[in-house]
Amino acid sequence: MIWQTSRFQIDLSQPRVMGIVNVTPDSFSDGGKYFTQHGSFSGVFSHCERLIREGADLLDIGGESTRPGASPVPLEEELARVLPVVRHAATLGVPVSVDTYKPEVMRAVLDLGADIINDVWALRQPGAMQIVTGHPSCGVCLMHMHREPQTMQMTPMDGDVVPQVLSFLERAAHGLQAAGIDRARIVLDVGIGFGKTVAQNFSLLARQQEFLAAGYPLLAAWSRKSSLAAVSSTPLAGVAPLDNADRMVPSVAAALLAVDRGARVVRAHDVRETVQALKVWAAAS
3-state SS assignment for residue 271: helix
Higher pLDDT, 108 or 39: 108
pLDDT at 14 over 90: yes
Q: What is the pLDDT of residues 19-30, one digit of tens each?
A: 999 998 744 444
The amino acid occupying position 132 is V
Return phi, psi of residue 29, to 5°: -100, -55
pLDDT at 37 over 70: no
C-alpha distances in angstroms, 163 versus 90, 199, 205?
37, 15, 13
Find the distance separating the first CA and the last CA of the chain, reported in whole Å.
18
Catalytic: which of 102, 107, 196, 267? Answer: 267
pLDDT average, residue stretch 65-69 = 78
pLDDT average, residue stretch 232-248 = 66
What span, in angstroms and rounded, lies between the C-alpha atoms of 255 and 253? 5
pLDDT bucket at 36, cuts 50 / 70 / 90: low
Contacts for 247-254: CB closer than 8 Å, 24+ residues apart:
247/223, 248/224, 248/273, 251/222, 251/223, 251/224, 251/225, 252/277, 254/205, 254/220, 254/222, 254/223, 254/225, 254/228
pLDDT at 236 over 80: no
Is 225 catalytic? The answer is: yes
Q: What is the pLDDT of residues 76-130, one digit of tens each?
A: 999 999 999 999 999 999 999 999 999 999 999 999 999 999 999 999 999 999 9
C-alpha distances in angstroms, 142 versus 49, 146, 168, 188, 194?
26, 13, 10, 5, 13
pLDDT average, residue stretch 157-173 = 97
pTM exceeds 0.85: yes
pLDDT average, residue stretch 163-191 = 98
The amino acid occupying position 172 is A
Range of the domain at 150: 2-284
How confident is the prediction for the chain on average, in pLDDT? 92
Catalytic: which of 185, 196, 225, 247? Answer: 225
What span, in angstroms and rounded, lies between the C-alpha atoms of 176 and 101? 16
CATH number at residue 151: 3.20.20.20
Residue closest to 168 by CA, chosen among 187, 149, 142, 201: 142
Rg (CA), the chain: 18
What span, in angstroms and rounded, lies between the C-alpha atoms of 162 and 78? 33
DSSP annotation string for 92-140: SSS-EEEE---HHHHHHHHHTT--EEEETTTT-STTHHHHHHTSSS-EE
Number of domains in the chain: 1
pLDDT at 32 over 60: no
Residue closest to 140 by CA, chosen among 94, 93, 173: 173
pLDDT at 245 over 50: yes
Task: Give the pLDDT of residue 110.
Answer: 98
